[in-house]
C-alpha cells in the first residue's frame, strides 16, 4: 500500500468507525458486531502508526467515542473517564508487560503487581457522594463531559443512596443487565412485537439514557463498581486495597479480580476468566489488566484517550461448524411466525447449542440458508447463538430450499406478510397460539371493557381449561369464576355483571375488540357509523372500504382479509348466539357543529383528559389527528405545548385554549 492508498483507506476507516460508534454509543443500536468494529479500529490504529503524518485529533484512536444526548444536562468530569486500549493476542500482553517493567526499572521500583478483572459489557458511569450521600451520577460521554443521569441511577437498586462513611468520593462503575434479565426482556419485547435489543450492553445503555426515569425504573439495571476516581481525606497504596475499601463502604464491587505478580500469572488469570465467562451471570467482552501500585500509575501516566497502566484483552468470538438439520416454525402470542433452526448439537462458548432463531424469511435469504447446510455458529455477545454463514464448499447438492408457510402451522388460517414488513403473521382470531393475547385485548378498557377480567384471571381460566376461545367468556358460570379466588363469590358476581353489561356495548367496541390489524378505536368508530351492523361490515368490498376517509388501502385490505377467515365468521356467529350486540347504537345527539373539522391536541390538558376531549370532538361530528398540517382547523393547546404548537403558529392554524374549547362545546 502506497502513501496515497493509505491516506484514502485511513479516511474511509475514520468515516466507518465514526458512523458505527455513533450507532453504538449514541443511539444504542449497533449495526455490526463488537468484533467487526474492533477489527476496523485495529486496522485504523496500525495504519496511523505506520503513517503518523495522517493522524488526526478527530480520529477515534485519539478520542473516546460517544456524545452527550440532547435533553440531558452536561456534567464535566473532574477526573476524565478514559477508555482502555484493546489488544487481541497474548503477544501484545508480552509487549505491555515489557514496557511496564522497563519503566519500573528506570524508576527504581523493584516489584510489579497486576490486577486482572472482568471487562463488564455495559455503560460506564461516575457516581458522586458528598458526606457519604449520593448526590450525582453521570455517563462517560466523551470521557471529559457526560450526561447527568442522577434520577435514573437512583432507580438502580444496587447503588447505595448512603455509604458507610461520611466522606466525599467519586467512584466509577459499569451499569449492566444480567444475562437472564436480558433474555427475559427480549422475550417480552418479541411477544409485544417490539424491536429486540441487539445485546445486553445496548439494552443497559438505552435504559440508563432514558429521559423519563420511570422507564429506567422498569428495566433490570445493575452495577459493579471498579474504581475510585477521586476521594478526599484518604490515600491508598494499591488498586486491590481500593476495591476492598469500596466493598466496606457498601458498594457492589466487580466480583472477579485476581492479583498477579508475574506475566505467567496474568496469562493464567486471563485464561481462567475465559473459561468461567460462560457461567458468569453478567456479560463480559474481555479481561482488564491493571497495574496495582497507584503511585507507579502516576509515573506511567496517560495518553489523551487511554491510561498507560492498563489494557483490555478482548476474547475472540468462538465459532463452530455444525449441520442445519431442519427449519421449523413457531407461532408467537401475537401471531408472528418465526423460523427456528434445528442444529446438530455442538458446544460453543461452554454450552451446547441445538437450535437458534432465524428471525424471518429475509434473514434466511440473506444468509442463503438451505436445510442440510454446514453452517458456522457463534454466540452473539456471548449470550445468543446465531448462524454466521454457510460453508458453501461443503454442499453436496442434497440440501433443500426453505419457504415460509402461507398457512399457520398451529391453526391452519392464512399466514400473510404485509408490504413493508419482515414478519409473516397468522390471521386466525381463534388460533390457540394467539389466544391469550387476543383475550387480553378483547376484554380491555378500549374494547369490550370487561372489568375484573385481567391477565392473571385470563391465565387461570386458560390453565384450568375453562375457556378455549373468545366466545367462551360469555359461557362462564358463577361457580367456575368463584373457584378462582378464596371467598370469590363477590368477585364472581361482579365479573358476571361486567360480562353481561359488555353484551350491550356499541358496535364500535366490538370492532375494536376483534383486533383487526391496523384498525384502532378511531377507525372502529368510523366503520360502525358507516355500516351500522357487523354483517354489513363483513360483506363490504375492498373497493368500498378503501374509499372511506381515514381507512385507506392498507386498512381496507386488512379488514377484508380478516372477515374472509372461517375463524372470524365462526367467532361472530358464536358472539351473536351469546347475545352480544352487533349493531351501532343510534345516538340521540344530532348536533354536528364540528362536522368536517379536524382538531390536534397538544401539551398537558388540565380540564379534560385527552380521551374525554377526543370523545367530545367526535360526539359533535369532528375528528382528531396526531399531526398538524394545512388541513388542521384547530389546535387545542395545553401547558408545555411543544413543536405542534410552533408548527400551528407557522401555518396560521387557529389555536384554542381549554377555556375556549369548553365554550365551543357548551
Instruction: Report how far residue 258's alpha carbon sits from residue 266's, in angstroms, rounded to the nearest whole number.
Output: 8
Q: Which residues contact 114 (CB under 8 A, 6 or more apart)?
A: 259, 260, 261, 265, 266, 289, 290, 291, 292
C-beta separation of 322 from 346 below 8 A: yes
| C-alpha cell at position 612 | 374525554
Torsion of the alpha carbons at 119, 121, 125 and 128, rounded to the nearest 10: -60
Locate 179 and state its grid cell: 444475562
Q: How far apart are CA 40 and CA 1, in angstroms?
A: 17
Q: Which residues contact 202 (CB under 8 A, 6 or more apart)?
A: 24, 28, 29, 30
The C-alpha atoms of residue 105 and residue 118 are separated, in whole angstroms, by 28
Q: Looking at the chain, how many residues does it have?
A: 666
- Give the position of cell 476496523: 40
DSSP string, 208-239: HT-SSHHHHHTS--EEEEEEEEEESS---SBH
Reading the block at residue 20, the C-alpha cell is 458505527
Q: Within 353-444, where are the H helices? A: 361-367, 435-443
CA angle 84, 85, 91 (to 5 degrees): 135
Which position has the grid cell 344530532?
A: 590
CB 623 within 8 A of CB 617: yes
The x, y and z cell numbers of residue 586, run together, are: 343510534
Residue 645, C-alpha cell as written in the block:
404548537
Among left, alpha and beta (phi > 0; psi -120 to 50; other), residue 252 is: beta
Q: Are 257 and 243 in contact (CB under 8 A)?
A: yes
How far apart, in whole angstroms, are the C-alpha atoms of residue 288 and residue 666?
70
Each as own residue / partner, the long-range contacts of residues 66-71 (CB below 8 Å, 24 or more positions apart, any chain) are: 66/21, 66/25, 66/26, 66/139, 66/140, 66/141, 66/142, 66/143, 67/22, 67/25, 67/26, 67/141, 67/142, 68/141, 68/142, 68/145, 68/146, 68/147, 69/26, 69/147, 69/209, 71/211
Catalytic residues: 119
Q: How many CA atoms lie within 13 A of 410 on its CB side?
A: 23
**Residue 545: closest CA among 584, 519, 566, 508:** 519
Gap between the Cα atoms of 192 and 333, Å rounded: 8
SS3 177: coil
Cβ proximity of 583 and 507 under 8 Å: yes
Angle between helices 455-463 and 435-443 (to 10 degrees): 140
Helices and strands per DSSP (H, E), number in the chain = 24, 22
**What is the DSSP-derived secondary structure letter of residue 666?**
-
Amino acid at each position: 500500500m502506497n502513501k496515497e492508498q493509505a491516506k484514502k483507506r485511513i479516511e474511509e476507516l475514520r468515516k466507518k468507525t465514526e458512523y458505527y460508534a455513533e450507532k453504538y454509543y449514541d443511539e444504542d443500536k449497533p449495526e455490526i458486531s463488537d468484533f467487526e468494529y474492533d477489527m476496523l479500529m485495529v486496522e485504523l490504529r496500525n495504519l496511523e502508526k505506520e503513517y503518523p503524518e495522517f493522524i488526526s485529533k478527530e480520529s477515534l484512536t485519539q478520542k473516546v467515542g460517544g456524545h452527550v444526548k440532547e435533553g440531558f444536562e452536561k456534567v464535566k468530569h473532574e477526573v476524565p473517564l478514559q477508555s482502555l486500549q484493546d489488544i487481541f493476542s497474548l503477544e501484545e500482553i508480552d509487549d505491555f508487560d515489557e514496557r511496564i517493567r522497563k519503566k519500573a526499572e528506570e524508576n527504581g521500583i523493584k516489584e510489579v503487581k497486576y490486577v486482572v478483572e472482568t471487562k463488564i459489557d455495559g455503560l460506564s458511569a461516575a457516581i458522586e457522594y458528598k458526606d457519604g450521600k449520593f448526590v450525582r451520577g453521570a455517563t462517560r460521554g466523551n470521557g471529559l463531559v457526560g450526561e447527568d443521569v442522577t434520577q435514573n441511577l437512583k432507580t438502580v437498586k444496587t447503588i447505595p443512596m448512603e455509604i458507610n462513611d461520611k466522606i466525599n468520593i467519586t467512584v466509577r462503575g459499569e451499569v449492566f443487565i444480567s444475562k437472564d434479565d436480558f433474555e427475559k426482556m427480549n422475550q417480552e419485547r418479541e411477544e409485544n412485537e417490539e424491536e429486540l435489543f441487539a445485546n445486553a450492553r445496548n439494552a443497559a445503555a438505552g435504559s440508563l439514557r432514558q429521559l423519563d426515569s420511570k422507564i429506567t425504573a422498569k428495566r433490570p439495571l445493575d452495577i459493579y463498581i471498579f474504581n475510585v476516581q477521586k476521594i478526599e481525606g484518604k490515600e491508598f497504596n494499591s488498586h486491590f486495597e481500593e476495591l476492598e475499601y469500596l466493598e466496606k463502604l457498601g458498594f457492589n464491587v466487580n466480583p472477579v479480580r485476581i492479583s498477579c505478580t508475574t506475566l505467567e500469572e496474568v496469562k493464567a488469570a486471563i485464561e481462567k476468566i475465559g473459561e468461567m465467562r460462560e457461567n458468569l451471570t453478567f456479560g463480559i467482552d474481555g479481561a482488564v489488566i491493571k497495574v496495582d501500585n497507584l503511585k507507579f500509575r502516576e509515573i506511567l501516566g496517560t495518553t489523551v484517550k487511554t491510561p498507560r497502566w492498563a489494557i483490555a484483552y478482548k476474547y475472540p468470538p468462538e465459532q463452530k461448524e455444525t449441520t442445519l438439520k431442519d427449519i421449523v416454525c413457531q407461532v408467537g402470542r401475537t401471531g408472528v411466525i418465526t423460523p427456528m433452526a434445528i442444529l446438530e448439537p455442538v458446544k460453543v462458548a461452554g454450552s451446547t447449542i441445538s437450535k437458534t432463531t432465524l428471525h424471518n424469511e429475509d434473514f434466511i435469504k440473506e444468509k442463503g440458508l438451505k436445510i442440510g447446510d454446514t453452517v458456522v455458529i457463534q454466540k452473539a455477545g456471548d449470550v445468543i447463538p446465531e448462524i454466521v454463514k454457510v460453508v458453501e464448499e461443503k454442499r453436496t447438492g442434497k440440501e433443500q430450499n426453505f419457504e415460509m408457510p402461507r398457512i399457520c402451522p398451529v391453526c391452519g388460517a392464512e399466514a400473510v406478510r404485509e408490504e413493508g414488513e419482515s414478519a409473516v403473521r397468522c390471521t386466525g382470531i381463534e388460533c390457540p397460539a394467539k389466544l391469550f393475547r387476543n383475550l387480553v385485548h378483547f376484554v380491555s378498557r378500549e374494547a369490550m371493557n370487561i372489568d375484573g377480567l385481567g391477565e392473571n384471571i385470563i391465565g387461570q381460566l386458560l390453565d384450568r381449561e375453562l375457556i378455549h376461545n373468545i366466545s367462551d367468556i360469555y359461557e362462564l358460570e358463577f361457580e367456575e369464576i368463584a373457584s378462582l379466588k378464596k371467598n370469590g363469590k363477590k368477585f364472581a358476581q361482579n365479573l358476571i355483571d361486567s360480562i353481561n353489561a359488555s353484551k350491550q356495548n356499541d358496535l364500535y367496541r366490538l370492532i375494536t375488540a376483534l383486533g383487526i390489524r391496523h384498525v384502532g378505536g378511531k377507525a372502529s368508530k368510523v366503520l360502525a357509523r358507516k355500516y351500522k351492523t357487523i354483517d354489513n361490515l363483513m360483506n363490504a368490498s375492498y373497493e368500498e372500504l378503501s374509499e372511506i376517509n381515514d381507512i385507506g388501502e392498507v386498512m381496507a385490505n386488512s379488514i377484508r382479509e380478516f372477515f374472509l377467515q372461517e375463524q372470524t365468521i365462526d367467532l361472530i356467529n358464536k358472539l351473536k348466539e351469546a347475545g352480544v350486540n352487533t349493531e351501532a347504537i343510534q345516538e340521540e345527539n344530532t348536533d354536528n357543529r364540528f362536522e368536517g373539522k379536524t382538531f390536534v391536541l397538544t401539551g398537558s390538558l388540565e380540564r379534560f383528559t385527552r380521551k374525554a376531549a377526543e370523545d367530545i370532538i367526535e360526539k359533535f361530528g369532528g375528528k382528531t389527528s396526531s399531526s398538524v398540517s394545512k388541513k388542521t382547523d384547530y389546535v387545542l393547546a395545553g401547558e408545555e405545548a411543544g413543536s405542534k404548537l410552533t408548527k400551528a403558529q407557522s401555518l396560521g392554524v387557529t389555536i384554542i385554549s381549554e377555556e375556549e374549547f369548553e365554550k365551543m362545546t357548551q
